[in-house]
Amino acid sequence: MAIRLAGSSVLRDTTSGNNIGTASKKMIFFDIDGTLLDHRKQLPVSAKEAIQALKELGHEVALATGRSPFMLRRVAEELGIDSYVGFNGQYVVMRGERIYTNPFREEELDELSRFAAASGHPLVYLDEDFMRSSIKHHSYVEHCMASLEYAHPEYDPGFFRGRPIYQTMLFCKEPEERQYRERFAELSFVRWHPFSLDVLPGGGSKASGIA
């Protein structure tokens, strides 16, 4: 059985490579952007039907995304999904229970924030419920957040202090990111937009969160 979703990808058994059917029960992970959601950031009826079909076959369905929990709740609720890997692997919830987190160390974010400010590049800090910007307004931040259907985050440059931060968005063009990769070799950088990268604690990835 093959199921086609918004991203026109055919879902397969992630272990054997065979089309998913009734022979074996699996936990199946879906990305949100470009897979479940279409280019308008809407959840098509076909995606809902596909997820329901998998559940009826006895499979457990989960989300694996770079989004924060507060950014994925609408999709999870519409699909009746209570397991997910968020923040590109830094925050894992299984059947409604948080089972793993991997936040930044505060000193890492302090150093990154100082370096980004000196370089003229904004940051957006994210925890499981909120996001805040290191700068009052920047066109890159506004443009990138609009692509996710969010407004420019509120200004709070000290938001990362005294709370767990699982992911930070760095706003710069591709030629400018090299200085960050060289300066912060212990962190992970994932570009998701021409103007922005996700910055993760060292070793963080969707694959590690799924594992």
Give the residue numbers marked as catalytic: 31
Burial of 198 (0-12, 13-18, 19+ CB in 10 A): buried
* Residue 44 near residue 35, CB atoms below 8 Å: no
- Complete edge-to-edge strand list for the sheet that includes strand 84-86: 27-30, 60-64, 84-86, 91-94, 97-101
Q: Looking at residue 91, what DSSP letter applies?
A: E
Helix, strand, coil abundance in the chain, percent, nearest 5: 30, 25, 45
